Homo-oligomer: A and B are copies of this chain.
Amino acid sequence: MSVSAIDFESAARALADTGRDLAARGWTPATSSNFSMRLDESSCAITISGRDKGRLGVDDFMRVDLDGRALDPGKKPSAETLLHTQLYRRFPEAGAVLHTHSLVQTVASRLFEADGFVELAGYELLKAFRGFETHDAMMRVPVFPNTQDMGELSHAVDSLFDAEVPMQAYLISGHGVYTWGRDLAETRRHLEAIEFLLACELELRRHRR
């Protein structure tokens, strides 16, 4: 248990550092976004709702079980916690989840909502995603309609996983991105890559219309 306490603090510090970097890029406006890391097979550390993501301290994190229930008395997890724990339950190898709200993510998600996905193909940076060994590939990033009902949203996400649609990130329309990886470094790499590739798509779209 004291080992777990140490783990929690290390996780919180690593996520706070990441938050500072992501906030500086403008990807977490107006106290939005949330970040988590798996602590063990049945719990994770996650940001408490409503804090400035560029100035996080250990007290801005809490522990929850993988059904999203608080493990720290007196702290209340945000509704979106369920979208994090869903990923840890579904993927035993998932070690971290990042959810951000950049301009590019918000705009791309609205433009491509009607299609249901954004198609990314022919980019060298696809190789930043685990499992991609060449630029000569295609990745579909699903776009889900936004809802305040997290049960409905996690059900929609689960349906795609059940259909074995391969994905390492998904968008929620007008809202932002969720991405995950084996550890925080891989998850950051996925986040930087998805942001970059969505920005390329928007820019190419403006030129090609």
Contacts and interface: CB of A to CB of B under 8 A. Distances in A.
Interface of A: 25-26, 29-32, 52, 101, 103, 106-107, 110-111, 122-125, 128, 133-136, 146, 148, 172-176, 185, 189-190, 192-193, 195-196, 199-200, 202-207, 209
Question: How many chain copies does the complex carry?
Answer: 4
A204 B207 CA distance: 11
Contacts of A199: 103
A28 to B, nearest CB: 9
B106 A123 contact: yes
Given A32-B124, A174-B124, A196-B30, A206 B206 contact: yes
B103 A203 contact: yes
Given A30-B128, A106-B200, 5 more contacts: A29-B193, A30-B190, A31-B128, A107-B204, A134-B148
Contacts of A134: 148
A30 B125 contact: yes
Contact of A203 (B25, B52, B107, B146): B107
Contacts of A25: 26
Contacts of A148: 133-136
